[in-house]
Structure 1
């Protein structure tokens, strides 16, 4: 196991005036045995950052350390890492056992040790009965577990996951998230996990790097990121539905954006007046979409209520009151968090 340190890590393609910089000075100290999620929208640089840690992309500046070694100039095979990708990359002509054992065989690990490592990983991942099957005989979730098993048997210092659940359906993704959590508890290996899915990030991370356009907008625990977003980007990206960011809220002063999550708006007899435009029924809850009755009609306000609440008629006016202790304030120019309006 090992810690990971990123010091002002940069990545640019090309040189001179035509250079395209995609990673802008990333800094992070990742503890030994910590599970870190790198989350952000497509194109934000999260996979590029992971590939630089792996050695699959050269860095343009800064320093990456794994354990006590600076690895900038080391080949991927010298970094003592194992990667699990979105595509399983299993050899179709090999059995599950052979797929998991292949890297160890190339490294000339003794056969008895190979068997012991593969059987242990198969037991942890509950794929022991499938060791003699070919990949085509497995479900998508089973193939992903084989890919994880292949990484486990290497006994690396660091696991790197690049959107490993993207090819699975929603139910299987939820199940595999639980398996990954269990796996991390049992092995305690430092892990970096890349995803664009904020649910995966919130459920898996001990801490998360929230990235936007090659910049780390916030590095913190899921609770910190959700309850104290550092920027309007983080506030809108983390949470479903996203936080309401309102320039025209009655409470907002000039140059300030008011933020409030949909679950922190209560329907009351008096308060902010909104005209109902749509209602979404989501089983145990419902989402109400409204716009200001007075003032700018451009801003949409989302309210989350329980199923027991009466459904307002489309076009009707409702009043909502934000919970004052759950309000957030952001600078309208920089998008950065303020502690007061």
Structure 2
């Protein structure tokens, strides 16, 4: 099959003969006919074999961690790895009008991805990790965005932008995360927490079915992502957001305890991206889930703090004030270090 794909990509579907394909594959033309019957059948089977329905199904089964931004990054990476690998197939099928039937049969693959992505978003909504929305339309929008990015580079380069595919994946995941994750529902247009709504209304927004009461606070600082990450995981930064402690190691599986009696364990550490941990204050009965994420911004880096599984409205209001103070301490620390 690969020999046929290579030849058709170079010469076009009509421009290559079964004799040439057989010679390139190292078999007789008769063997080729016995196995595939026609050149068109060979191409149809190649599309069926190398397209992404099976791999994407496996990705949704094995890579999902139920974090919207992280999951969309994983899905985007797998999608573009498959599409890049199958680039020659797209060059063949899209060039020739006579292959409309092949394109039609291949539609089962994006239909499968639409089903997988819609089901995932529905499950996220049931878990309280997605705002109310038309999940199928959001899935379609995500797919169109990435298919468009692939097509724009299919014939060599992208005249509209010098952004890499990794940049596209990161930007799209961040866009959907900001738009659909419930922790951002209270942000104003300036990216800060909306302080105009009443306490009762904010508490209702802050409670979800799966994550309980939660809070999200973010701030953009005029430093690079690398500088922000270095500060947050260094001694001064850890003191600012985690508390006074000795010998804290920011590594997955590491436990920690502060001098004030707060304790927890790092569960996810993705350098230059985010750290997730179980975090419990000394007077709490159960731990919360805390995530600190560093995102690229136009004028520096955005530090996002999200905490869920809080015990109630009072704890949520307490932690809202706490994390706003932490963000200010982080800002001052970063500005002091940049001078």
With the length of structure 1 as denominator, give the TM-score of the two structures: 0.24
More helix per residue: 2
Q: State the TM-score, normalized to the length of structure 2.
A: 0.24
When you count strand as a share of all residues, which structure comes out higher? Answer: 1
